[in-house]
Structure 1
Amino acid sequence: MNSKLSYTIEDHPPFALSLLLAIQHLLAAIGGIIAVPLVIGNVLKLPTEDTIVLVNAALLVSGIVTIIQCRGIGKIGIQLPAVMGTSFTFVAAALAIGFSDAGVGGILGSSLIASLVMIIGSFFMPYIRRFFPPVVTGTVVMMIGLSLIPVAVDWFAGGQVGDPNYATPQNLLMAIFVLTIVIILVQWGKGIFSVAAIVIGMLIGYITSLCLGWVDFSGVKAANIFAIPQPLHFGLSFPISGIIGMSIAYLVTIVESSGNFLALGEATNTEITPQHFKRGILAEGLGSALAAIMSTTAFSTFSQNIGIISLTGVASRYVVAITGALLVLAGLFPIFGALIVSIPLPVLGGAGIIMFAMIISAGIQMLNSVEKTRRNGLIIAIAIGGGLAVTTRPELLDKLPDFLKEVFGSGITVGALLALLLNQILPEE
């Protein structure tokens, strides 16, 4: 457990500090939230205005569901500092539907019907929870961090492998500069300088990038100042094959989100009960249904923001609820989101590499409490090895049927499924 929390789940930091801390979560999440609609819009060659509809709706619904997860409505919402966003787990199924005659309406209709898998599944989470002993939970949490490291490395290097500016000395120096600032502030900073280390480090990196002429404001200039949400903009259709594909993606997301909830519990010093699982998964399912109606893709809990909690010791759900409010504003005022997206990738990478590594550290600490037996060692080794195989070499799945690629496309999912399976079939010593 994280024994050095500056603010616990129920704490209310002063508003000015809470706003700064909420912006810190926003900076970590917004790139991932808009990435999925941008990928779908670009690959399907949608008109610019349609892609903007997908992006605005993603930000707006992310904010709404984040607030529900943090604050809770009745028996909906995990009531922990969980940031919600569009999930890459659904991209493969979405593109397959999008390239068919069903189009974007088919993607959203399939997602709406298939969200029942998560909504109904949430009521069985108390039974599912017993399959997650410490050897499984620690392995899954560790795999979450390991799966995110390649994302942080690409940010650190300034793009994707093959880009002409990938890993240039300038990009690496900027990322190291931001990373150094964050480390100094976390280790030796006091008060606000410690708990807001990530946003301060990124702000200094952004100002430095601005002085160097690295910041591209073209997206800001092209963005609308205000945009009204457009429910059912693409209509809805319900192809059977699309519903099946999306249902599989939702099953995978249940496994991933269960791991994220466990990591969140570790970061916030909270024992995750079956009711936490039920409420959290239900909120995700209902949020994904709302996303389909509001014209964007399905949702899950963001693991990168768990790293911020582990690093800063700020577990207040009040703070993350403010992040949700900021996301709603970003959905209504696209220029706000465009300004955030203008942050150069090396600046994000300098902070991201340590945030995601903190999740790995949390997983290692959880595994420290596991009995050191040959059986447990096999479970940990094979699960992490299999998850990393898919993460580092996704080409392994290229020649498999689309169904299997959908199921095993995520290293987190592969690691979690292997840990769950081995824990059931290997005999106790």
Structure 2
Amino acid sequence: MSKTSIGTPEQLRDPNFTPALHRAIPLGIQHVLAMFVSNVTPAIIIAGAAGFGFGSDAGAQGFPDMTYLIQMSMLFAGIATLFQTIGMGPVGARLPIVQGTSFAFIPIMIPLVAGKGVEALPALFGGVVIGGLFHMLLGTVIGKIRFALPPLVTGLVVTMIGLALVKVGIQYAAGGVPAINSPEYGSLLNWSAALVVVFVTLALKFYARGMLAVSAVVIGIIVGYFYAMIMGMVTLDGIATSWSRAAVFQMPMPFKYGFEMSFAAIVGFCLMAFVSAVETVGDVSGITKGGAGREATDKEIQGATYADGAGTAIAGVFGGFPNTSFSQNVGLIAMTGVMSRHVVTIGAIFLIICGLIPKVGAVIRTVPIEVLGGGVIVMFGMVVAAGISMLSDVKWNRRNMVIFAIALSVGLGLQLEPKAVQYLPDTLRVLMTSGLLPAAVIAIVLNLILPEDLSDEATEEVSGGLSGHGDGSLKS
């Protein structure tokens, strides 16, 4: 599909342009395919960490809960996307921004729910709601706090998010956490299913074009799913059972799991809201530059931040997780050259329809954890790569290297050895063992208090002559 067949160059750069429906619908579905797996993965991971997900002892009993969480991930990604594309008062950028469930909050959520089942969800969703409201407040000051979050800080945090999650990908590919002590864990059969997904995804990313390249992860998981069926890892009876147990249509239920104020959850979600807000600012700027060839306005950035927070808070009320703008869709707009927000609105409507049909979530739930592991390895590896890419804009002098070294050492160290802080109060222990929050706080504080004029003379002593280049400013 050529750009000229969709509209004139001026129309393609206009967010208010609506292509013909037979063009707009495939373009909208393309946006959904680009983010679909990433959007539902956090729900699957949190369900597994809580103990009612794949392969857990409570897996059968937890079927409705896991299906519901997947359903809410789709529904509120669609609703939050409508906030961005259509807008509501000051909420929304009125730009083609695709919202989805954020990976950034997973390292915060896992310690909050680990092994506690659905009993942990009231406190979790309480944190989501309060964090979302706080995120909205950031919209009033987002332009003034960006100075505190240069690439040194944001790059470190994004890298830490990826490093916290890569372990999950390996565990899934090997058979899942509940199977760690079983003989099948790490078997060649399990790894073969994951590797099929990885290889198909890579082949499509590098050798395909258009829709095939955009939906490489989705297609990789579908191919892996059929491979798993051939190898006996999925049975038609299991698929039929999941399909029959799920309702045809279900409306979201407010406070389905209750609501509880947890200090650890509230602090965790509010602190991560800073990172998510800055990520959205970067995505908005990327969309306007890549799609319209201009800088984002203050009003667009503020509206996008409001929509981020509103989408998160409302999702938390109904059992959804924090939402954020999805960077892969920013790249898709640059690739297609279609800036129309109405195209993304069509994709949002498709997500909402899927979110109201539990049978869609039930089918997703039948995907073997090993197959999902292959997709997760690719996705979380890309999160690490994105963080390293941000860090390439940092000027690696002595000051910045010390900040990075201390923050990474403490954050990653506490993540790898949580017992090191076992005597802290429960709330503080949960926040510290996420690794992410201590690293972010250390980096932000040191970046603010250490003088900029530290000598560069010691750089080579530390780095062996290797130093990066860049101006150290936040690239939008």
With the shorter chain as reference, the TM-score category is: 0.7 to 0.9
Q: How do residues 285-296 of structure 1 correspond to structure 2 at under 5 angstroms?
A: 285-294=309-318, 296=319
**What does the per-residue CA deviation read over 1:230-266, in whole Å, with 9 as the maximum and x for residues that have no partner?**
3355666xx7xx2644431332231341354367469
Find out whether 1:411 has 2:428 as its counterpart: no
Taking the aligned partners of 1:53 and 1:199, their CA distance within structure 2 comes to: 21
- Find the counterpart in structure 2 of residue 195 from structure 1: 214
Which of residues 81, 91, 105 is equivalent to 1:66? 81
Taking the aligned partners of 1:334 and 1:347, their CA distance within structure 2 comes to: 21
Find out whether 1:162 has 2:180 as its counterpart: yes
Q: How do residues 30-429 of structure 1 correspond to structure 2 at under 5 angstroms?
A: 30-33=40-43, 35-36=45-46, 42=52, 56-69=71-84, 71-77=86-92, 79=95, 80-84=97-101, 87-88=105-106, 89=108, 112=129, 115-160=132-177, 162-164=180-182, 165-215=184-234, 216-217=238-239, 218-233=241-256, 242=261, 244-258=263-277, 260-261=279-280, 264=283, 278-294=302-318, 296=319, 298-301=321-324, 306=327, 321=345, 324-428=348-452, 429=454
Taking the aligned partners of 2:180 and 2:46, their CA distance within structure 1 comes to: 21
Taking the aligned partners of 2:203 and 2:332, their CA distance within structure 1 comes to: 12
**What does the per-residue CA deviation read over 1:157-186, in whole Å, with 9 as the maximum and x for residues that have no partner?**
231271523321112122222212222222
Q: Is the 8 A contact 2:91 2:306 kept in 1?
A: yes
Q: Is the 8 A contact 2:135 2:277 kept in 1?
A: no
Distance 1:67 1:152, change over 3 A: farther
- 1:35 Cα deviation from its structure 2 partner: 4.6
- Find the counterpart in structure 2 of residue 4 from structure 1: none
Give 2:201's aligned amino acid. V
Distance 1:63 1:38, change over 3 A: farther
Taking the aligned partners of 1:332 and 1:251, their CA distance within structure 2 comes to: 29
In terms of Rg, which structure is larger?
A: 2
Point out the more displaced range, 268-277 or 377-386.
268-277
SS in 2 for 1:427: coil
Taking the aligned partners of 2:131 and 2:211, their CA distance within structure 1 comes to: 44
**What does the per-residue CA deviation read over 1:342-370, in whole Å, with 9 as the maximum and x for residues that have no partner?**
22223223233233323333332332232
**What does the per-residue CA deviation read over 1:96-129, in whole Å, with 9 as the maximum and x for residues that have no partner?**
99999xx977776676566543333432222221
SS in 2 for 1:383: helix
RMSD between aligned residues: 4.1
Q: Is the 8 A contact 2:86 2:92 kept in 1?
A: yes
Q: Is the 8 A contact 2:142 2:277 kept in 1?
A: no
Taking the aligned partners of 1:222 and 1:409, their CA distance within structure 2 comes to: 38
SS in 2 for 1:83: strand
Taking the aligned partners of 1:266 and 1:109, their CA distance within structure 2 comes to: 31
Distance 1:155 1:54, change over 3 A: closer
Q: How many residue pairs were aligned?
A: 413
Point out the more displaced range, 405-414 or 197-206.
405-414
Distance 1:9 1:351, change over 3 A: farther
SS in 2 for 1:301: strand
- 1:225 Cα deviation from its structure 2 partner: 1.7
Taking the aligned partners of 2:377 and 2:256, their CA distance within structure 1 comes to: 38
Give 1:125's aligned amino acid. I
Q: Is the 8 A contact 2:101 2:323 kept in 1?
A: yes
Q: Is the 8 A contact 2:77 2:323 kept in 1?
A: no
SS in 1 for 2:140: helix
Give 1:162's aligned amino acid. I
Distance 1:118 1:85, change over 3 A: same
Taking the aligned partners of 1:97 and 1:153, their CA distance within structure 2 comes to: 22
Give the TM-score taking structure 1 as reference length.
Answer: 0.78
Percent identity between the two aligned chains: 28
Give 2:224's aligned amino acid. G
Taking the aligned partners of 1:107 and 1:249, their CA distance within structure 2 comes to: 10
- 1:92 Cα deviation from its structure 2 partner: 5.6
- 1:333 Cα deviation from its structure 2 partner: 0.9
Taking the aligned partners of 1:192 and 1:111, their CA distance within structure 2 comes to: 34
Taking the aligned partners of 1:179 and 1:362, their CA distance within structure 2 comes to: 18
- 1:332 Cα deviation from its structure 2 partner: 1.4
Give 2:352's aligned amino acid. V
Task: Could you tell me which runs of 5 or more consecutive residues in structure 2 were left unpaired when the two chains were aligned.
Answer: 1-11, 455-476
SS in 2 for 1:417: helix
Q: Is the 8 A contact 1:111 1:289 kept in 2?
A: yes
Taking the aligned partners of 1:49 and 1:202, their CA distance within structure 2 comes to: 23
- Find the counterpart in structure 1 of residue 461 from structure 2: none
Give the TM-score taking structure 2 as reference length.
Answer: 0.71
